[in-house]
Structure 1
Amino acid sequence: MTFTTLYPNEAAPSHGVFVENRLDAFRRHSGAEVSVIAPIPWFPASHPLFGRYARYAAAPVLEQRRGLEVRHPRYFLPPKIGMDYAPTALARVFEREARALIAEGRDFDLIDAHYLYPDAVAAVRVARALGKPVVLTARGSDVTLFTKYPRQRAMILDAIYKADGVIAVAAALKEGLVEIGAPAEKITVLGNGVDLSGFRPLDRDEIRARMHLQGDVIASVGSLIPRKGHDVVVGAVASMPQATLLIVGEGEERARLQSLAQKLGVAERVRFLGQMAHGDLTEIYNAADALALASTHEGWPNVLLEAIACGTPAVASDAGGNREVIAAPAAGRIAPARTAEAFAAALKDVLARSDRAMVRRYAQAHSWDDTSVGLTKLFGDILSREKQRAAISTRRILRDRPAKPRLIVTVDTEEIFDWSAFSPNENRVARPADVDRFQSLCEEFGARPLYFITWPLMTNAENAGYFRQLAEHDRADLGLHLHQWNTPPLGGFAGDYYSWQCNLPPEIHAAKLKTLGEAFERAFGFSPRAHRAGRYGVSPLAYREIAGAGIRYDFSPSSSFDFSAKGGPDFSAAGNEPFEILTDRGGVLVTPVCGARAVRGGRAFLKQKLAPGLDNCRAPQSRHLTAAFRLSCEQARFDELVSLTKSLDEAGTPILTFSLHSTTLTVGGNPYAPDAAAVDASFALIRRYFDFFTKGFGGDFASLRDLGDIYSPPN
C-alpha cells in the first residue's frame, strides 16, 4: 500500500511523478501487487481563477494510472492551523480508506509512505492502528524545511523511531536526519533512478529548429518559487550574450522573474514556457546545451538525472543531494557559490567541455533497477521479520492466583555509567558493600532478591565472588542483564538506538547472549535461567534469541511504559499479568515489571484491563493526561507505591514485581542517587514499603524458584 500526497493525478499529471516512477519500476521488478491512496486537500471550486486550489477540486476521486487504481480521497485543512492539523486529517482519511480496502478483501502487507511530514507521521499512526509494518521515504523539504519547526521535528522523529524502515533518497538527507537525532542505522539511502527509455537523446537539430533556437541554450526547470533559484539563472544568462534561457514551470515568482529579465535586458532571451507534461520535458532537455538548478535546498533532484539521461550536462548549487547526482565531471559541475557570477562561470566551463555521449553513459548507471533491487530487499526483510513475529504466540500461564499477594524483588545489578552515552568503555564497577546493605534489608523481611548481573560485574572478581556466595548459600537468585553496549562482541552497534537489544541484528543479539551466558557459568558455576534486557529492550522477535540462549524466565517488559520515542519498545498497552511467549526455539515465562498509568498530578491509577503479552502493543494509547509509574523506589513516593500496589492487586495481578537499579544504592551511582541523603532516602522507602506489604497488606515474598510452582500453562 503506497500512501502519499505526492502523486500525479489527471488534473496535476506532474505532481510527485517521481513517486509514481519509483513505484512503477518496483512493480515491474518485484511483481508485487500495489494499491495507492493519494489524498488531496478538499477545495470547493474548480474555476481556474483559484490556481492550484482549482486543481485540487478538479482531480478525480478514483482513477486508473499505469494500470493501477489510484484513490484520491479528500481531507480538510483548516486555514491558519493546517500545518499542525495535517497529520490528524490525513490519518483519518487514510485509515478510513485502508479499512474499506481490507473490508473489500484487498488487504495489504506493508505501508510504503512518502514524505516525512505530514504524510509519514499520519502513516505511522495508521500502521499502528492496523498492525501493519510501515516504511517511510524522506524526499527533500520534509527534511530541510519541516525539521526546522520544533513541533514538526518532534513528530518526524517519533515517526522514524516507530517505523519499520526509513529510506532517504540522498545521503545528504540521511545526514540531516541523523543531525536532529534519528538513528543512522535505521535509514537506508536509495536514490531515485531515471527512466532511460523515456529520457533519451533525440534529434536535437530538429527540435531546436522547430523551437527557433540558436546559440547556447540553458534550461531551468522547476516550480517558480523562491527556493528554486530561477532568478540566479536569469542573472547568469545576463552575462552570456549568446545564450537563451528556457524556464519551465509555474508559480508565484513568474511576474518577478519576468520583471528581473526586463531589468537585466535579457527579456528577449528568456522564454517562460509554463507548466509542461513530464514526458514533454525530454524535448526541452534535448534542446538545451546545459541545465541549471540553483535551488537553496533539494532532496534528490530528478531534473538533473533526466537532463543527463538526454545527454545534457547540468550545473547545480551545492544543496541537498545535488552533489550526489553530479558525482563526476561528465555529468556537469557543482557551482562554487549560489550567485549569478558563479553559475555563469560554471555554465561556460560546461559548455566548453561537454561531450553529450559521455553524459548519457553516466546516466546509464542510474536506472531505476538498483533502486528497485534495494526496495525489494528492504521490503522483503521487513516482511520476513513480520512473518517470524506473527509465528510467535503468547498464552496465559497462571494456574491459580496465590492465596495472598506475592512480591518478587528484582535488581538490575550493573556498572556505574553515563545513562545518556552507552559507551563500552566509560564505566566503573562499585564494590559490593552497598548491595550487601540492601541484601541485609531483604533478609530482614524474608525476601530472596533476584539480581540481574551485567558483563562488567560478572567479570569483576570481587563482585562475582560476592554474588556467587549469595547463590551458594541460597540467599539470592541470579540472572543475566544484557547491557549490549559493553557485552562482547563489540563494534558497529553503538549509540542510543542499538542500546535496545531488540534493535540488534538477530545474529549479534544471539552472540552477545552466548558470551554473557558463558561468562555467567564461569563466574557462578551454573547456567542462567533468568534474564532482563537492559533498558527493558525486548520485542516478540527478541524472544527467539532469548529462548535460544536457554533462558526460561524473563522479566523485561515494563508495563505501561513507552520507550518508542527513542527507538525502544512500547509497553504502554502491555498488562501486568505473567504470560508464556512461544517461539520456534522454545518458550519463555515472562513476568512484567509492574507498572500502571495514573492521572497526572494525582495518585488515581487507571484500572488494568490489558491482556497479557505483547501482541497489542502496536495499538496507540492516550498518554496526554496520564503518566506511567513503576513499582520501584526510584521516582516514587510511599503513598504512590501503596496506591499502585492496591491497584495492581485489585486488577488480579498474581505476582507483583518490585524493581530497582543496584547503582541507586551507591552515592553518585546514577541520577536517582546524587548524594548520600538520596541513597538513605531510597533505603528508608524500601524498608517502609516492605513493612507495608508484609504487615499492612498481608503479602509475602516470592523467589525465582517459587515461579515454577505458581506458573503453569493451562491444559
Structure 2
Amino acid sequence: MAMRSLLDPPPASAFARFRDRIPRFLLTVDTEEEFDWDSPLSRDTHGTQHVRRLANFQEFCEAEKVVPIYLVDWPIANSAVAADILREPLENGMAEIGLQLHPWVNPPHEEEVTQANSFAGNLPPRLETAKIDTLRDIIESRFGVAPLIYRAGRYGAGAHTAQILSDAGFALDTSVRPKFDYSHAGGPDYRNHPAHPYWVDDERSLLELPLTTAYWGMLRRQGDAIYPRLWRAPALRGMLSRLGLLERVPLTPEGTSVDEAIRGIDIALDDGLPLLVFSFHSPSLRPGDTPYVRSEDDLDELYQWWRRIFAYLEQRGVKPSSIKDVMRTVER
C-alpha cells in the first residue's frame, strides 16, 4: 500500500470529493484534561473537573441538530463521568467518538516528558503505535464504540503516523492544521498543506480531514508566502489584519471572533472546500480551564459563537456532517 506521510502535502489528484456536492461541516472537540497551558507538561498535574460540562454541551448540540465528534484522550477515556454522559448519545448516533493522543499522559510511559516528545509523531514508531493502541482499546471498552478517527495532540503527526493508523484500522485522520507551523517547538510544519480533504494512500483507505484555516484580506493569495515570515512579528500581523490586508482565520471559537469566522467560512466556500472542520478544547466549557474562557460571561459568549455560526452555515447551505455521513458520501 502506497501510504504517504502526513508531513508531506498531497498531490491535487488525492483530493476527496463527495457524491452529492453539498458543502458540509464537522464539529470536533479536543476532549482532554485540564492543565496549565503556561507550565511545563507533566504526567500528573492535570484534572478532569470540567467533564460534567459535556452534558450541557451535548444537549446544546442535539438542540442544534449537530453531531459533535469527541476526540478523547487518556484521562477522559478513564473518566467514569465522561462515559456516563456520552454513552447514550453515542448509542443513539447523536455524538461520535475518536482518539486524541496526548503522549505525555498516555501509557506506556517510556519516553521523557519533553516538548519534542509531546508531538507523538516524534516518538519511535513502536511507542507511538503502543500508545495509540492502548488508547483505542480503552475507549472501545469504556464507551462501547470502536473509534475510526484520530487526532494527534498538538497536531503532532509524524512520518509513520499514517501507516500506524492504517494498520490499526482507522479510516480518518484529522491531525493536519494547514497554515500553521510548529517546527520551532519540534513539531510539524503544515504551512504548505491544503485545507481540502484528501486521501493519504493510493488505495483510498485513510482520509485526511484537515482543520479548516483560511487567509482573508487583499493579500490572501500571497498568504502562504507572507504570513510564515511574520511569526516573530505579532504587531505587524495585527496591523495587516486591521488594514484588511491579511488575516489567518482558523475555524474555532478560541481566539477567533464570529465576524472573523464568517469571513473564514466565506473564503473556504469560495475556494471550493467541500468540508469545513471546526474545533475547540473541551476544558473551555468550564471558566478558568483555558485562556479563552475565564468567566461565565465568556462561556455564554462561546455558546453564542456556536449559535451564530450554525445559523450562518445554514444560511450558506452548509449541512452538519458526521463521521458516518463522510464515510457514506465520499467518493472512493
Verify the 8 A CA contact 1:409 1:450 in the aligned structure 2: yes
Q: CA deviation at 1:700?
A: 1.2
Structure 1 CA distance, aligned partners of 2:92 and 2:19?
29
Counterpart residue number, 1:510: 129
TM-score (ref. length: structure 2) = 0.86
Counterpart residue number, 2:243: none
Counterpart residue number, 2:257: 637
Q: CA deviation at 1:673?
A: 1.4
Counterpart residue number, 1:464: 83
**In the alignment, does 2:218 pair up with 1:594?**
no
Counterpart residue number, 2:313: 693
Determine which of 520, 528, 534 is the counterpart of 2:139.
520
Counterpart residue number, 2:241: none
**In the alignment, does 2:166 pair up with 1:547?**
yes
Residue correspondence of structure 1 range 213-612 to structure 2 within 5 A: 396-400=14-18, 402-420=20-38, 421-582=40-201, 587-598=205-216, 606-607=220-221
SS in 1 for 2:254: coil
Q: CA 1:572/1:522 → structure 2, altered by over 3 Å: closer, same or farther?
A: same
Percent identity, aligned pairs only? 30
Q: CA 1:508/1:529 → structure 2, altered by over 3 Å: closer, same or farther?
A: same
Verify the 8 A CA contact 1:547 1:588 in the aligned structure 2: yes
Structure 2 CA distance, aligned partners of 1:649 and 1:401?
17
Q: CA deviation at 1:447?
A: 0.7
**In the alignment, does 2:304 pair up with 1:684?**
yes
Q: How many residues are matched?
A: 312
Structure 1 CA distance, aligned partners of 2:4 and 2:174?
22
Q: CA deviation at 1:401?
A: 6.4
CA RMSD of aligned residues (A): 2.7
Structure 1 CA distance, aligned partners of 2:196 and 2:4?
24
**In the alignment, does 2:325 pair up with 1:711?**
no
Structure 1 CA distance, aligned partners of 2:206 and 2:155?
16
SS in 2 for 1:629: strand
Letter matched to residue 71 of structure 2: F
Letter matched to residue 255 of structure 2: Q
Q: CA deviation at 1:404?
A: 3.4
Structure 2 CA distance, aligned partners of 1:431 and 1:692?
29
TM-score (ref. length: structure 1) = 0.41
Gaps of 5+ in 1: 1-386, 611-618
Structure 2 CA distance, aligned partners of 1:442 and 1:635?
21
Q: Deviations over 1:387-416 (max 9, x none)?
A: 9959x8765252446443211111001110
Counterpart residue number, 2:234: none
Verify the 8 A CA contact 1:572 1:621 in the aligned structure 2: no
Letter matched to residue 133 of structure 2: K
Structure 1 CA distance, aligned partners of 2:92 and 2:219?
39
Counterpart residue number, 2:281: 661
Q: CA 1:482/1:605 → structure 2, altered by over 3 Å: closer, same or farther?
A: farther
Counterpart residue number, 2:242: none
Structure 1 CA distance, aligned partners of 2:327 and 2:317?
22
Structure 2 CA distance, aligned partners of 1:433 and 1:575?
36
Structure 2 CA distance, aligned partners of 1:620 and 1:468?
46
SS in 2 for 1:432: helix
Structure 1 CA distance, aligned partners of 2:183 and 2:151?
18
Letter matched to residue 683 of structure 1: Y
Q: CA 1:389/1:475 → structure 2, altered by over 3 Å: closer, same or farther?
A: closer
Structure 1 CA distance, aligned partners of 2:267 and 2:41?
35
Say which one has the larger Rg.
1
Verify the 8 A CA contact 1:409 1:449 in the aligned structure 2: yes
Q: CA deviation at 1:609?
A: 10
Verify the 8 A CA contact 1:416 1:429 in the aligned structure 2: yes
Counterpart residue number, 1:651: 271
Counterpart residue number, 1:43: none
Q: CA deviation at 1:464?
A: 1.7
Verify the 8 A CA contact 2:4 2:200 in the aligned structure 1: no
Verify the 8 A CA contact 2:140 2:146 in the aligned structure 1: yes
Residue correspondence of structure 1 range 77-96 to structure 2 within 5 A: none
Q: CA 1:654/1:563 → structure 2, altered by over 3 Å: closer, same or farther?
A: same
SS in 1 for 2:306: helix
SS in 1 for 2:220: coil
Q: Deviations over 1:327-361 (max 9, x none)?
A: xxxxxxxxxxxxxxxxxxxxxxxxxxxxxxxxxxx
Verify the 8 A CA contact 1:607 1:651 in the aligned structure 2: no
Verify the 8 A CA contact 2:215 2:264 in the aligned structure 1: no
Structure 2 CA distance, aligned partners of 1:609 and 1:637?
20
Q: CA 1:711/1:539 → structure 2, altered by over 3 Å: closer, same or farther?
A: farther
Structure 1 CA distance, aligned partners of 2:206 and 2:212?
18
Q: CA deviation at 1:623?
A: 3.5
Counterpart residue number, 1:83: none
Determine which of 258, 281, 295 is the counterpart of 1:675.
295
Counterpart residue number, 1:275: none
Q: Give the structure, 1 or 2, with the largest relative contact order (CA under 8 Å, sep 6 or more).
A: 2
Q: Deviations over 1:18-59 (max 9, x none)?
A: xxxxxxxxxxxxxxxxxxxxxxxxxxxxxxxxxxxxxxxxxx
Q: Deviations over 1:649-692 (max 9, x none)?
A: 00000001111111111111111112222111111111111111
Letter matched to residue 623 of structure 1: R
Q: CA deviation at 1:516?
A: 0.5
Structure 1 CA distance, aligned partners of 2:66 and 2:59?
10
SS in 2 for 1:425: coil
Verify the 8 A CA contact 2:182 2:188 in the aligned structure 1: yes
SS in 1 for 2:29: strand
Q: Deviations over 1:616-671 (max 9, x none)?
A: xxx99743355532101110111111110000000000001111111111111111
Counterpart residue number, 1:358: none
Q: CA 1:572/1:389 → structure 2, altered by over 3 Å: closer, same or farther?
A: closer
